[in-house]
Structure 1
Amino acid sequence: MTAQARQLAAMIRESWSPGRPFVVGIDGRSGVGKSTLSARVGEILGEDCRVIGGDDFYTGGTPQDWDARSPAEKAAHCLDWRRQHAVLSALRRGEEASWHPFDWDAFDGSLHTTATFARPARVVVLDCVYSCRPELAGLLDLRVLVETDPTRRRERLRARDGDDWQATWIQRWEEAEDFYFGQVVTRAGFDLVVTT
């Protein structure tokens, strides 16, 4: 994935302009390599780049809350785009941003009491599925869709989540991603498609 990261970093360097941060959404299904690509772009760009992880903004609630929702509701409420909007807006204005990340250890809907802070940089990358949703489109200078072979994606999910990933994954998450990429933001709605 290093070659793809170098190409994306080069494209970003060619596109940024002085005056305000260049904001990139890196979107794609779970397991396609978004976080790896985002991290490598961040390493290449160094101090010029801030990578914001979307998992901090999870708002899907408990597994029981999530399971009770329709695919459209899951896609709409998985991540708190309003808080993401506030963070990206502040960074785009050249201001420091802060937010309280979701408490994954408690997993009861609560947020950490300690805030996370991000100082502005020439490039801001929002790394998560749903990062290029319409509500954030006005803040994004580049919308990137990351794709990979379905077999490779399943292997990555198994490596990340263990052998029981398939038992709960399709029921809990896949239908939300199917709705999002089929109805909310289709492939044609991205500026760039990167295959990992």
Structure 2
Amino acid sequence: MPSRSTDGFDAAIDEAARRVREAADALAPVGARATSGAPNAVLIDGQSGAGKTTLAARLRELWAGPVEVVALDDVYPGWDGLAAGAEAARAQILVPWSEGGDAAWRRWDWGRSAPGDERLTRADASLIIEGSGVLTAASAAYAPIRVWLDSPEAARRERALTRDGDAYRPHWERWAAQERSHLERDHPRSLATLIVDVP
């Protein structure tokens, strides 16, 4: 698939999307979903600004058949909630979905700093969950395609702060510390089936 621009970021994300789609096409679903044509799961992890949301959006465009995309930004319970949000996504979304059931979960309302409206992730669609912290030993067991995006800190920071501006700027280091804890505790790169270098 041709990249959308000559920019190295776009080219890397487009290549990653192509490789994920190839991996999904080659996989037979496992566990409770081991039937021909059944949906599959993809986890996308990486530090802030690495391109997770962009990759998930490109995959949604390319996906054959129905697909649900869950952004952990909708699950984290606030600025100190990286680990809690990742575990909530595993327990409340990934596990019931992997067992063939719809997954009901609550979106985090950042404006009110409280749980928000209920969301439903359909059992009959493939599932893509993207967000820092999503890839752990516990979650990896439920997703045959696991992506780690590597990107230099300066580039990540510029992208993240361009995207979220003043809302994120005061929290950058607070969030980065949680990401570093995730890297040390969970070793997500070692759990990935696909590692992508993003400029």
User: If the TM-score is normalised by the length of the shorter chain, which range does it land in?
Assistant: 0.7 to 0.9
Please state how far the C-alpha of 1:164 moved relative to its aligned partner.
7.9
Aligned to 2:165: 162
Residue 42 (structure 2) pairs with residue 24 (structure 1)? yes
Equivalent residue runs for 1:1-196 within 5 Å = 1-17=13-29, 19=35, 20-60=38-78, 66=80, 76-77=83-84, 79=85, 81-107=87-113, 110-112=114-116, 114-121=117-124, 123-162=126-165, 165-170=168-173, 172-196=174-198
Q: Distance in 1 between matches of 2:106 and 2:185?
A: 30
Q: Distance in 2 between matches of 1:157 and 1:82?
A: 24
Aligned residues: 180
Q: Is the 8 A contact 1:47 1:121 kept in 2?
A: no
Q: Which whole-Å deviations, capped at 9, do the CAs of 1:38-57 have from their partners, x for residues lacking one?
A: 11111100533221111222
Q: Is the 8 A contact 1:88 1:139 kept in 2?
A: yes
Q: Is the 8 A contact 2:136 2:188 kept in 1?
A: no
Q: Is the 8 A contact 1:21 1:92 kept in 2?
A: no
Structure 2 stretches lacking a partner, 5+ long: 1-12
SS in 2 for 1:12: helix
Residues 1:56 and 1:152: Cα distance change in structure 2 (over 3 Å): same
Q: Which whole-Å deviations, capped at 9, do the CAs of 1:121-180 have from their partners, x for residues lacking one?
A: 45211111111123323222222101123332121012012268555411x111111121
Please state how far the C-alpha of 1:12 moved relative to its aligned partner.
1.3
Q: Is the 8 A contact 2:92 2:105 kept in 1?
A: no
Residues 1:16 and 1:48: Cα distance change in structure 2 (over 3 Å): farther
With the length of structure 1 as denominator, give the TM-score of the two structures: 0.80
The 10-residue stretch of structure 1 (49-58 or 11-20) with the greater mean CA deviation from structure 2: 11-20
- Which structure has greater strand proportion? 2
Q: Is the 8 A contact 2:45 2:131 kept in 1?
A: yes
Q: Is the 8 A contact 1:16 1:122 kept in 2?
A: no
The residue type paired with residue 76 of structure 2 is Y
Structure 1 stretches lacking a partner, 5+ long: 67-73
Larger relative contact order (C-alpha < 8 A, sep ≥ 6)? 1
Q: Is the 8 A contact 2:20 2:145 kept in 1?
A: no
The 10-residue stretch of structure 1 (116-125 or 33-42) with the greater mean CA deviation from structure 2: 116-125
SS in 1 for 2:49: coil
Residues 1:102 and 1:175: Cα distance change in structure 2 (over 3 Å): same
With the length of structure 2 as denominator, give the TM-score of the two structures: 0.79
Q: Which whole-Å deviations, capped at 9, do the CAs of 1:88-130 have from their partners, x for residues lacking one?
A: 12222222221111111212xx211x31112124521111111
Please state how far the C-alpha of 1:186 moved relative to its aligned partner.
4.5
The residue type paired with residue 134 of structure 1 is A
SS in 1 for 2:42: strand
